[in-house]
Structure formats: structure tokens, C-alpha cells
Chain A
Amino acid sequence: MNTRKKIGVLALQGAFTEHIASLQKLGVEAAAIRLPQALESLDGLIIPGGESTTIGRLMLPYGFVKALRILSQDGFPMFGTCAGMILLSKGALDLDVETIGAMDIKVRRNAFGRQVDSFETLLPVPALGEVPFPAVFIRAPVIVETGPGVEILASLPDGAPVAARQGNLLVSAFHPELTSDLRFHAYFLDIVSAYAPNVIASEAKQSELGT
């Protein structure tokens, strides 16, 4: 197992260059993904923060939603931050764009109010060790419903869940890519390393994707 992992970062809109920089610091290859054809040959995908309505609308015309649904059925690792969490969820109350729906959570957008209510805090994340994580929340969502397979990784003092995992899917309402703390990205790379795609199934999926 010495093949170098290649992680895509969905680069339709938002803070994708920061994710690419974080991945590169961890020594993996990172690629900006703007069309679904570029999804093949990836070991995982990060969906960055940005505007969920904008990214959602840019995903539709080129078939990203369908392609990512097919990949997620095969256990393809994905990590969504903020808008990325919204787009991986089953949906949000006031969001009228289609989400990927791979993760069994529902979310509330702009859950803390407007930009003047955005904040930074030190957040306990037991899965990452004892040292709290510097979490930057920007017009952030929260998780309001979780299905049975979802593990909550972090909550705010009021109990609102803000990071979770379901199998090979990881989400955070905040922005690890805006900090120099690489533990969340390293945690995702551990998921990616453990993921061994069924090659035959993958080829079948790729022909289904028309690639």
C-alpha cells in the first residue's frame, strides 16, 4: 500500500483552495473538481464551504448529484464542511435545490443568524483527542435530525450537533480548512485509507456514469 491517495475537492464555488492546501500539507494529492468526469480515479471527495444554493445549482446541470449518489452507494468517502454538510444531507428546511442525500441527517441553514452572529470557539471533539478543535462557524448550519447509523462527533454546549460521521461520510458545520489544525483532514484521510473499493463494482459504476 504505497500508492499515493488522490482526493478531489469540489471546486464549483466556495473555499476549495483552502481544502486543497490542507490536503497538500498532509502529503496527499489534491485536485480541484469542476466536472463529474473528473471524479473517476479519486479516493475521496471534499465538498467545501460556500453558498449551498450556489453550489447546489452548479452541481445539477452537469450531473454531479446523480454521479455522487451512485458513488456513495459504493462507500466512496466524502467530507462536507458547512455548505458541503448541507449538500450531503437529506435536506434543509428552506433549501429548494436538490441535495445528494447520501448522509442520513437533516440540517437547518443559517442556524445561528446572520454574519454578525458568526463565531469562533474551541470545540471538544473526542474522536480527535483531548485538545479542543478551533472551530470557525460562518453563517453555519446545525444538524437537527439524525438517522440510526449516524455518529455525532461534536456538539455545542447547548447540545446542537455540529460534526458527524456515517460510515465513510464525514460532515462538519464549521470550517477546519480555515485553521492550521489538520486533525479533521487527517481523520478523513484515515477513512480514505481504510476504504478499499470493490474494483469490479467500481468499473460497473463507471460504465453507469458513462465515463
Chain B
Amino acid sequence: MLEKGNWKVKTGLAQMLKGGVIMDVVTPEQAKIAEDAGACAVMALERVPADIRASGGVARMADPSIISAIMETVSIPVMAKCRIGHFVEARVLEALGVDFIDESEVLTPADESHHVWKHDFKVPFVCGCRDLGEALRRIAEGAAMIRTKGEAGTGNIVEAVRHMRAVQDGIRRLQALPEEELVAEAKAMGASLELVMEVHNTGKLPVVNFAAGGIATPTDAALMMQLGAEGVFVGSGIFKSSDPAPRAQAIVKATTHYQDPAIIAEVSKGLGIAMPSLDIKQIPTEELLATRGW
């Protein structure tokens, strides 16, 4: 009896990605550079978030031919993004055989009220969050992995830090509350009591949590790891920099050796120019990506 696509198997792949760097790529050549640099997975896209932000319009699932070409090029897991609530894009990605689906706020949402019901899929999902309540809502829907949203395509770590601190603060708060206060807290957070109880008892999220959205340097990656991320997503930060391969390798090393400033210093030398960056305060509110989804 082989049981495929169960919760153990879906969350298990996320466990195997821990301590690693997942890199956005738009071509098979970039995917190969990412794999050779030590990425633990790649995210196959048509455009990286910085370009999505710059070009505006509706951002959708990537062309399946790009995703398939990337899957044929690398042996590491390949992820792809579907729009929030777009369960048909998700079914198409599952049929293509991608290893993980990111139901992502970086794409234009297809549904402003409902996310995909992810338990119905054999392929695991990762979803973004800004705080613990949002993380637990996504997990209740079947997300096998969580990432904090940050603000994608900005090269600015400030939102990633804000969201990771919010999640960790939420966990510490639940741990400290007496049991009789957990029901009211679950109501206030908009999360299921069952998951709230689990976090209260274990002191951690029930699934793996990575950081995303704004990581541009090795020190950014190490900062997020020290704040409690179990790994990092790097979107535009690698292939929008002046010299992608050495920067990719350096971010991988800094993620492993995040507690060792001497190694981070060594790998940070001579990486060239980081991606073009944005001050969050200069971005019009309606153009913020992190506020998509609920």
C-alpha cells in the first residue's frame, strides 16, 4: 500500500527544503545557474517580481512551456506560482508535475475573498502571510509550507522583517496565554482553535516557515534566518543583480552559516551591485503586493 500526496509527504518535502534558498528563475539557463549555486529549489516564472511591479497589468501563471523547460533542465524541486484563488491554474501546475505550488500575492489575485482549498491536491502548496493569524488560515486550507510575504520586487528587507517578527511574536504570545483565553484569541486572530491550541502547546508553526520578499544580500538572508526563518526565497535579488552566480552562491552559504559573521563577511566580498531597490514609503498603497490575500 503506497499512500501518495498525504499530509506527511506534502509537509515532508518542505522539511527537506529547510536551511536552503529557493530562487526565482525565468529561463532554463537561470535555473541551471541557481542549481549550480546550491539552490534547494527554483521558482519557475515568466517575470521576476521586480519586472511584474514595473510593467503593471495582470500577472498570471507562467507559460507552461517555460515551466516544463525548467523542469527538464534541473534535478532539484521546481515550484511555480498560481494566482490567489485560481484553482484551475493550480490544477494545471499539478498536471505539469511541479513539485510545489506557490499561491502567491505576487500575481494578481483571481479571487479577493477565497484562497484555493489546498487539501484537495496531491501537490503541496506554500502560501504567504503577514502574521500568525494569516499563516494559520492558510494552513487550515491545506498549505504545507508558509512563507512570510515581505514586499516582493523591492530589494528592501523591512517588510520581511516586520512579517517575520509578527509571526514569531504571535507564537510567543499564544504560548504565554492561559488556555481559557485561547478561544477569544482564536476568534480575534481569525484562526481555528485547533491550530491555535497546537501552536500554544508546541511553540512553533505546524509547518515549515520561510522568509520572502526583499532579500537582496547574504546578510539579508542571514538576518531572516536569525529572526526564525527556516530558509529563504530570493526573487529578484539574484537575477536583477549585476553578477548573479557569485551572489547566488554567497546567499546559499550565508543561509547555512547564518550564525557565523566571519563566513558571511567572507562570502559578501566583491559581489557587485545589488538589485535596484525601492523605499516602501514611495510605493502607492494600491501597488503593495503584501496586502493581497487576507
Contacts and interface: CB of A to CB of B under 8 A. Distances in A.
Interface string A121-160: 1100000000000001111000000000000000000000
A120 interface: yes
A13 interface: yes
Interface in A93-130: 94-95, 109-110, 113-122
Nearest to A49: B16
Nearest to A117: B4
Nearest to A156: B2
Contact of B256 (A13, A110, A115, A117): A13
Contact of B6 (A11, A16, A54, A120): A120
Nearest to B121: A116
A107 to B, nearest CB: 13
A118 B16 CA distance: 13
Given A17-B18, A136-B12, A54 B4 contact: no
A118 B19 contact: no
Interface string A71-86: 0000000000011000
A166 B267 CA distance: 38
A12 interface: yes
Interface stretch (B92-100, B168-176, B214-222, B277-285): B92-100
Given A13-B256, A122-B1, A54 B38 contact: yes
B182 interface: no
A98 to B, nearest CB: 14
A95 B20 CA distance: 18
Interface in B1-57: 1-6, 8-9, 12-13, 15-20, 35-41
Contact of B20 (A13, A17, A109): A13
A14 B19 contact: yes
B260 interface: yes
Nearest to A56: B38
Contacts of B77: 51, 115, 139
Given A115-B100, A116-B122, A138 B19 contact: no
Contact of B19 (A16, A117, A122, A178): A16
> Range of interface residues on chain A?
35 or more
A61 B12 CA distance: 28
Given A53-B38, A54-B76, A54-B252, A115 B16 contact: no
A119 B3 contact: yes
Contacts of B2: 119-121
Contacts of A94: 75
Interface in A24-70: 34, 49-51, 53-54, 57-58, 61
Contact of B13 (A17, A57, A83, A115): A115
Contacts of B8: 120, 136, 178
B123 interface: yes
B18 A118 contact: no
B100 to A, nearest CB: 7
Residue with the greatest number of chain B CB neighbours at <10 A, chosen from A13, A51, A54, A178: A54
A57 B122 CA distance: 30
Contact of B123 (A11, A16, A115, A122): A115
Which of B9, B20, B260 gathers the greatest number of chain A CB atoms within 10 Å? B9
B76 A53 contact: yes
A140 B97 CA distance: 16
A14 B18 contact: yes
A106 B253 CA distance: 28
A15 interface: yes
A147 B12 CA distance: 31
B133 interface: no
B3 A114 contact: no
Contact of A54 (B3, B39, B98): B39
A53 B15 contact: no
Contacts of B20: 13-14, 50-51, 54
Interface of A: 11-18, 34, 49-51, 53-54, 57-58, 61, 82-83, 94-95, 109-110, 113-122, 136-139, 175, 178
Given A13-B40, A54-B252, A115-B123, 12 more contacts: A14-B16, A14-B19, A18-B15, A34-B260, A51-B16, A53-B76, A61-B253, A114-B71, A116-B94, A118-B4, A119-B4, A139-B16
20 contacts: A12-B19, A14-B16, A15-B15, A50-B40, A51-B20, A51-B40, A53-B38, A54-B38, A94-B75, A95-B75, A115-B77, A116-B4, A119-B9, A121-B2, A121-B3, A122-B1, A136-B9, A139-B13, A139-B16, A139-B99
